[in-house]
Amino acid sequence: MPTVAVVGNFLSSGHALAWPAGDSMGAQLVGDDAIGSTVRAMGVRAFTVLDFIDAFSRLHPKDWHRLVERFGRYGEGRRYKATTYLSNRLDLYSQRPSSLLRPLTRYSVDRSRDYRRPTPEEGARFGSPWIAVFKVRSKRPGRKGRARTQRGQASGPSARASL
């Protein structure tokens, strides 16, 4: 079993952020661009890490295989797995102001808000009694302004008042 380094940053699961010892704390194996492109390609309003893995493994097969080689899959007897890594990355990504996701509520704060019991099929792939549900923001953060029609004209009451 690999040695795990633990730091004081707590994740949505209520556990401390951990990764295999010897890895750089700043190293990201999966960047925000890959997460964002996967979320966009999924085209859903809410998803679990398992849904994300299904899409990510199709869109980024080399990255997925690298994660599996490094961390393993659920059921291989490892504490920190590829699913754990991606779940942690999604959690941290959701906390960023520029994220496409709503910030995930910490499990220790309110597990009824962004968590649910996994289905039997999910439980066979995940193994936790609770699974986080990540939700896509209704608007892209940082994008304010008037709505545009298909012709690029401003729309809405303020636009009509200026005509």
Question: What is the number of structural domains in the chain?
Answer: 1
Range of the domain at 25: 4-161
Measured between alpha carbons, how far is 35 from 29 in angstroms, rounded to an integer?
Answer: 11
Confidence grade of residue 42 (pLDDT, cut at 50, 70, 90): very high
Per-residue model confidence (pLDDT) at position 57: 95
Q: What is the mean pLDDT of residues 29-51?
A: 95
Q: pLDDT tens digits for 98-110? A: 999 999 987 767 7
The residue that leads in pLDDT, 126 or 120, is 120
Per-residue model confidence (pLDDT) at position 152: 47
The residue that leads in pLDDT, 72 or 110, is 72
β-strand partners of 101: 136
Question: Is residue 140 scored above 70 in pLDDT?
Answer: no
β-strand partners of 148: 154
Q: pLDDT tens digits for 77-123? A: 666 789 889 999 999 999 999 999 999 987 767 777 899 999 999 98
